Amino acid sequence: MGRVDGKICLITGGASGLGRADAVRLAEEGAKVVVTDINVEGGEETVQLAGNDAIFIKHDAANEADWQSVIAKTVDHFGKLNVLVNNAGIVLVETVESTTTEQWRFAQSIMSDGVFFGCKYGIGAMKDNGERCSIINVSSTAAFLGYPVFFAYAAAKGAVRSMTKSVAMHCQMEGYTIRCNSIHPGGIDTPMVASASAQQGPPPAPSANTPPGPGLGEPIDVANTVLFLSSDESKFINGAEILIDNGTIIQP
């Protein structure tokens, strides 16, 4: 028996990187997965890798109407929604001085507005299904640290961190069986991190599963945390911020 048998899980930004790892790991443990992304080819490839009746829906996480449609299609296809992983994101390598207004608004539209829409419409689909549900918002260690060259990204991830706590307490006070937690990966070996690193210089080497040494983490490190928070094993964890960074933000 899988750890998330019978759960319907929607993952944004699932065409590659962390979203793909999440989808595959959840499907391995029995979930029916809905993968969304603007990248159709990558999203469909993720669905093939995940199997277990996973489906792909093209989705712009910054678009409110897309969110309404994706949630409706998920419930229509699978009958319910149990888990939402707000994972879609981008990184712009710009400081506060070099970030343009257009870049700022674009970053916030995906990672701040997108998480707002996801939580709003996800709660609407989850609150009456009578089952334990979980919203997992993907933030970053950038929400804790001063990264001058990731200004818009860090601002959006800080908003995700704060929104998560408000959502968690709202659901608790309303009596909904919905938990909401944020996860905060550090450097993980994904295409997004590789792209950002290419603009700054060579990234550290992947850790190759040999902590406590330095280096990049692997997508599976995040996916295993998402699996735990998706499962009822984490039923007493709510409003938490979980670092997945091998101690990065506490290094002396």
Q: Which residues are catalytic?
A: 153
How far CA 38 is from CA of 6, 44, 62, 138, 208, in Å, comes to 27, 11, 10, 18, 30
How far CA 118 is from CA of 10, 45, 215, 222, in Å, comes to 10, 23, 32, 20
Residue whose structure tokens are 């981008």: 90
Phi, psi of 177, deg, nearest 5:
-90, 55
Amino acid type, 136: I
Peptide bond into 212 cis (omega under 30): yes
Distance CA 78, CA 163 (A): 28
Tell which residue, 154, 157, 222, 156, has the closest CA to residue 189. 222
Pure H helices in the chain: 17-28, 40-50, 64-78, 101-108, 114-126, 151-174, 191-198, 219-230
